[in-house]
Amino acid sequence: MGDSIARIRVDRESILATVDERLFGSFVEHLGRAIYGGVYQPDHELADEDGFRTDVLELVRELRVPVIRYPGGNYVSAYKWEDGVGPVGDRPRRMDLAWKATEPNTVGLDEFCRWAKKADSSVMMAINLGTRGIEEARNLVEYCNHPGGLYWSDLRRAHGAEKPYDFRVWCLGNEMDGPWQIGCKTADEYGKLAAEVAKALKLFDPTLDLVVCGSSGPGMPTFPQWEATVLEYCYEHVDFISLHIYARKEKDDRPLFLAESVKFEHFIQTVESTVRFVKAKKRSKKTVRLSVDEWNVWYHSLGAESDDDLWGVGRRLLEDRYNVEDALVVGCFLIVLLRHADSVRMACLAQLVNTIAPIMTDTSGRAWRQTIYYPFLHCSRYGRGEVLETRIESTGYESGEYGTVPYLEAIAVLRRTDSEVSFFCVNRHETEALSLEARLSGFAGISVVEHVVLADPDPLAANGRDAPDRVAPRAENGARVEGDRLLARLPPLSWNLIRVSYS
């Protein structure tokens, strides 16, 4: 029996959206070994003069992450930013209740900004609206963004940062609907507070991009009423509403797990509709955009945390070891993000180093790339451009919860500056390859630049300290062009990047 045929049609004139590069953002929280032992490890042989691991920096730079959300996450809801500035020796050690760890404040705001600069990235700053409010937000924005001559901006200068950081994006708290959140709130309480904080920040600089918290996930009982209520308070004062989602494999059901991106797409569509509803109700001219500022696969480490090192600095938490099927789910999520690039203008892979991360370290030796690193790398490098409407014809399977799910998930991005079209495809079939036939209308002189595949006979294969390249992408031969059609074989359970040039 031959491979099943899956068809794609794209047309040069049918553009869905121009990709905002901030779709390829990420997230570093003071959590586990993300900072202490990940980003920062002064006793490591590869540490630089600031104590930052250069092997980690290299991998972050390779990913081309334009924006990094900081410092949390749950951590931010009791965050006292003043503890982490000034002479390191004078900084207090604090209890981090969110992750039951000690925060030594060795790495604070100024150090993190120095690191982000070395990583060729910018910071998306989150504000504590759990235990704090307008006053602290006002001071923080002055410290970070004001040029100088005022109390807080002069303090920043005294700490060695002469020029303002000029953070463009600010998150108004984190997951404020979650009962686990320190200082969690009802939608009315949070909506009122967020609107007032937003007003204050916009009085300082009306060009800031402000992100208000949506629900902490589509499974929250208050979703999507939370979004509607919060936007009613904040619509005219904010620019983005956040979405958080983590894919989980339940009952060892791989087909269902591979369909988690369907849930993600429904989540986005519901928030898009809620924004439209509130916009219409308010007769508003502006459109609030979506910021998926936490997304990933997260389940391997759940329940595995040990209490041995309670209140330790940089204790091991959320260290998911990602395998091939996780990379496919991350690939499907990236495809969904690109398909909704018109409304989703920012997204942050949660997170970046050691905690549910594409980059892992150990106390000695070099950092390595987890499987999920690769789909992110491919999209970040070859997914910036214009998303083409990508019509897919594919057979599918019955997933249970998400109905019939096509074996092929795909999106195409036109990159005019390189005269290329990138195809990102996932074959969800466990045992059969798909024969891809992609028709490209409106393009002349097309030819294949490369076809790169991430797949493995063992879908549970993963990389680790002793086998950092056990799973890595490989070049696939055989993709070719016939007339206006690209023909390629997509192996079973595979992530594929196919680059096509045109004249």
Q: Are 424 and 454 in contact (CB under 8 A)?
A: no
Q: Are 275 and 282 in contact (CB under 8 A)?
A: no
HSE of 409 in the Cβ direction (CA atoms, 13 Å)?
28
If DSSP codes are grouped into helix, strand and coil, which group holds residue 461? coil
Q: What are the catalytic residues?
A: 175, 294
Selected from 82, 110, 142, 294, the binder of ligand AHR by CB under 6 A is 294
Plot region of 157 (φ>0 → left; ψ -120 to 50 → alpha; else → beta): alpha
Diameter of the chain measured on Cα atoms: 75
Give the binding-site size for ligand AHR (rule: CB under 6 A): 10
- The verdict on 72 binding ligand AHR (CB under 6 A) reads yes
Neighbours of 345 (CB within 10 A): 20
Find, among 296, 299, 220, the residue nearest to 254 by Cα. Answer: 299
CB of 317 to ligand AHR, least distance (A): 9
Binding window for ligand AHR (CB under 6 A); candidates: 70-78, 110-118, 140-148, 391-399: 70-78
Which residues from 340-399 bind ligand AHR, rule CB under 6 A? Answer: 350-351
Binding window for ligand AHR (CB under 6 A); candidates: 68-76, 119-127, 135-143, 423-431: 68-76
Which residues from 79-108 bind ligand AHR, rule CB under 6 A? Answer: none
CB of 461 to ligand AHR, least distance (A): 25
Return d(Cα 442, Cα 461) in angstroms, integer: 41
Binding window for ligand AHR (CB under 6 A); candidates: 69-77, 142-150, 393-401, 485-493: 69-77
Selected from 25, 29, 376, 498, the binder of ligand AHR by CB under 6 A is 29
CB of 318 to ligand AHR, least distance (A): 6
Q: Are 174 and 202 in contact (CB under 8 A)?
A: no
CB of 72 to ligand AHR, least distance (A): 5
Which residues from 163-222 bind ligand AHR, rule CB under 6 A? Answer: 174-175, 216
Looking at the Cβ atoms of 164 and 217, the one nearer to ligand AHR is: 217
Residue 499, burial from CB neighbour count under 10 angstroms (0-12, 13-18, 19+) = buried
> The dihedral of CA 434, 440, 445, 449: what is its sign?
negative
Looking at the Cβ atoms of 222 and 273, the one nearer to ligand AHR is: 222
Binding window for ligand AHR (CB under 6 A); candidates: 66-74, 202-210, 357-365, 478-486: 66-74
Return d(Cα 375, Cα 328) in angstroms, integer: 8
Binding footprint of ligand AHR on the chain (CB under 6 A):
29, 72-74, 174-175, 216, 294, 350-351
